Copies of this chain bind each other. A is one copy, B any other.
Amino acid sequence: MSGIAFPAPDADILARRDAIVAGLAELLPPEALIVSEDERRAFETDALTAYRRMPLAVALPSTTEEVAAVMRFCNAQGVKVVPRGAGTSLSGGAIPQEDAVVLGVAKMNRVLDVDFADRTMRVQAGITNLAISQAVAYEGFFYAPDPSSQLACTIAGNIGMNSGGAHCLKYGVTTNNILGVRMVLLDGSVVDIGSDALDAPGYDLLGLVIGSEGQLGVVTEATVRILRAAEGARPVLFGFETSEQAGAAVAAIVAAGIVPVAMEFMDKPAIEICEAFAHAGYPLDVGALLIIEVEGSDAEMDVALARIVEIARAHEVKTIRESKSAMETAAIWKGRKSAFGATGRVADYICMDGTIPTGQLPLVLRRMDEIVKSYGLRVANVFHAGDGNLHPLIMYNVNDPEEARKAEEAGNDILKLCVEVGGCLTGEHGVGIEKRDLMRHQFTQDDLEQQMRVRAVFDRNWLLNPAKVFPLDGRLAA
């Protein structure tokens, strides 16, 4: 794929590379600065591997003070900075550019404080999503948003992209689970945004920062909400003849006011791919599968499930299988969470990430299928149906440029469809470079300029992650 343009690197910066590296070397211990081409190569892309750019240098600081020193230096020198967590971005949010320094926070991965009385926890921003939950599991607590990449992805990246996950239907996404951040601004100043309480004074700058894709500052610490895990949880598999039936069942469950912890959708190709990979026990004789998880006491789960089963029956559900053991539950979720990896074994794919109002699910499922077929391609659908967050995986042959172009076009058509029915271009993967130019389908130039003016309050000169989010043409001048 090559449909997305990178800006030409700044020749002046490239010419000053040695001096810039020397300046950074004065601010960081030797092991925190990556200069050699071999080592830089590990940072030339992220999970959107179709695009690669070699960064000028990579800084891996261990403290907020070191981050501040790097930011102050880069700002003074006019050097671009690309913040990076674990590099698992599916939209290319962490892909560098030749005239930029990558600033990675992965070394800052410690738990700083746990407060069970207030149900909050203070962590460094490079900690992985799963490590947060693991650190408080001994007391029966957990951190709710659970992206499929939770073993690797950092809370810094989650904050940058406002990440979700299968269990966000009930507990909300990142923005609903972060109470405060410590952030380094471009000029090196360190600010605390949000508070330890449920409400924070002043404008909702925390909301502004969450999902801002590393363009307002670099987050080095975060206060997260932790929740008490429910008494028990039980996923149930509901197999339907058609995707439309499954989609209509989801819409009916939502409209009935039932909020399961998770409501995940897989179509036939996704079921087959995941079952072959993970042996999750998914039914193979159905056209679409819903994994619906309820939680609470046994009595609570029984009540909720009875209502869900009733709705599923009204939509002609074909098979219902309840998990009977912790092992079965683990297998069911392993299948779902390995969907991207499993698809990657059978084909190259691009993963879309649109959102739609849940009521539009049956319509959008039908139209998506038509779109992908019209390009002669195949699609596997796995997604968070409960909150209307779609993840069609469009499969193509990476070595066939024509097919790659078609896959990208089909993906664009799907995202435009999401916008048309009242949804948006991205649910949890972010805009990055991948959807940068599609932003014009969501926003007018006026809309974009207003957003850019807000952005300019933090970074007037487009130094922070500059190639991303906003189309390259029509940008506000400094």
A residues adjacent to B (C-beta < 8 A): 115-120, 140-141, 162, 164, 173, 175-176, 189, 191, 195-205, 207-208, 210-212, 227-229, 251, 254-258, 296-297, 299-300, 303, 355-359, 387-389, 422-428, 431, 439, 442-443, 446-447, 450-451, 453-455, 457
Contact = CB atoms under 8 A, between A and B. Distances in A.
Interface residue SS majority, chain A: loop
A203 B199 contact: no
Contact of A204 (B210, B228, B427, B442): B210
A364 to B, nearest CB: 11
Given A257-B140, A299-B303, A359-B118, A208 B203 contact: yes
Nearest to A427: B199
A389 B443 contact: no
A358 B254 contact: no
Contacts of A446: 189, 191
A197 B423 contact: yes
Nearest to A204: B207
A204 B211 contact: yes
Given A257-B141, A257-B227, A357 B197 contact: yes
For the complex of A and B, the 9 pairs showing the least CB-CB separation, nearest first, are A228-B257, A207-B207, A117-B359, A201-B424, A204-B207, A196-B422, A118-B359, A118-B357, A453-B457
B425 A201 contact: yes
Given A115-B359, A197-B356, A207-B207, 12 more contacts: A164-B199, A175-B207, A189-B446, A197-B357, A199-B387, A201-B442, A203-B208, A203-B211, A204-B210, A205-B450, A228-B258, A453-B457
A153 to B, nearest CB: 18
A426 B203 CA distance: 12
Contacts of A428: 199
Contacts of A356: 197
